[in-house]
Amino acid sequence: MTKVMIGLSGGVDSAVAAYLLKKQGYDVVAGFMRNWDAIANGDFLGNPTLNNDCCPQEADYEDAKKVAAKLGIELFRIDFIKEYWDEVFTYFLKEYENGRTPNPDIFCNKYIKFDAFLKFAKSKGCDYIATGHYAKRVDKDGKTFLYKSYDQNKDQTYFLSQLNQEQIASCLFPLGDIDKTEVRKIAHELELNVADKKDSTGVCFIGERNFKEFLKNYIPAKKGDIVDVNTLEVVGHHDGVLYYTIGQRRGLGIGGISGRVANSWFVVKKDVKKNILYVASGNEDEHLLSDRTIVKNCVFNNVFPKENMHVGCKFRYRQKDLGVTVHIIDETTIELIHDEPYKAVTTGQAAVLYDGDICLGGGIIDQVYYKNKRIDI
């Protein structure tokens, strides 16, 4: 019998995924990953659960144990705290220090769930791992492809875009052909304790945080000016340019300015060296636009884009696919020419390419241009 280890998080998605695997005839075991220790990692500022009697990870573990007992599967508790710090969080902090906006979930998948966890599962004699991600694997002609899930609203292929062929071929995605409503329905029918549990949000394996305060634990605050990019007038003050992201509107603290139309302000540029945060009034300002992007550290699964290939691209999660034309620079670097100017394309985020429902892979946004001028520096 084919043996599978499911990553059981204590949430409803992985719980139902485990049930579906058993129903399909697999020999199922489970692994609960503990990847963050708030006390050991100095996670004090911005942590709303610091004084709780039970930390969220322990509560999740208790939920995972109940699910495993209900389904009759063995549960392993696995500690990847060091791996998470070394491979994911250190990179996360470095990117912020460089003024970029990383996506830790993508690297958490690449280095923890589909690397460290995969190796652990193999050591226990498992043929595959499985997760509760909304994504589909399709096997054709001896190759494994990553497809968008049936539930397009929940599709998570964006977060799986840095996985290589071996990683994708080693994983099963039981939720790929059903939607979230059906997942909840199955959980209720099984009377699972997590049937109505709220979906997890926030930083991968860390959870909900006051993000600015959270970063202050690791990157010192450095106050500076907020400057109108069009007039070069100082319109406010910030706690540190590293705490903001391109396109951000909330939390700027800019009040009404005499003689100005009362539009919302948006972050359009960060000058890390001079510690200046540049903003523009209104979301139609040209400084939010870009027409060309350089993407580095690309990983493609089976289908390497061809020169001048026209594909869909997501520059952030839940964004609709935007048209781009691919130019190949080298094996891991591409240039994307936008079909039209797009807003708030942000360095450090992932650019993920799609050919219809096939997720080709992607890389990290490294440089952003508009009208032949680099705008991210």
Give catalytic status of residue 171 as yes or no.
no
CA 170 to chain centre: 21
- DSSP secondary structure string for all residues of 259-327: TS--PPEEEEEEETTTTEEEEEESTT-GGGEEEEEEEEEEEESS-PPPTT-EEEEESSTTPPPEEEEEE
Question: What does the alpha-carbon distance between residue 133 and residue 206 come to, in Å, rounded to a whole number?
Answer: 18
C-alpha torsion sign, points 4, 8, 12, 13: negative
Residue whose pair of structure tokens reads 């781009």 in the numeric block: 324
Question: What does the alpha-carbon distance between residue 200 and residue 101 come to, in Å, rounded to a whole number?
Answer: 21
Contact 37, 89 (CB under 8 A): no
| Helix %, strand %, coil % of the chain (to 5) | 25, 30, 45
Q: In Å, how far are 34, 215, 240 from 267, measured between CA atoms?
A: 35, 18, 13
C-alpha torsion sign, points 333, 166, 176, 150: positive
Question: What does the alpha-carbon distance between residue 266 and residue 286 come to, in Å, rounded to a whole number?
Answer: 11
Give the Cα-Cα-Cα angle 135, 138, 141 (nearest 5 degrees).
160
- DSSP secondary structure string for all residues of 181-210: HHHHHHHHHTT-TTTTPPPP-SBTTTB---
Burial 33-51 (b: 16+ CB within 10 A, else e): bbbbbbeeeebeebbebee
User: Which two tokens mark 372?
Assistant: 């032949």
DSSP tally for the chain: helices H, then strands E? 9, 18
Give catalytic status of residue 204 as yes or no.
yes
Which listed residue (126, 171, 204, 313) is catalytic? 204
DSSP three-state, residue 369: strand
Task: Indicate which residues carry an active-site annotation.
Answer: 108, 204
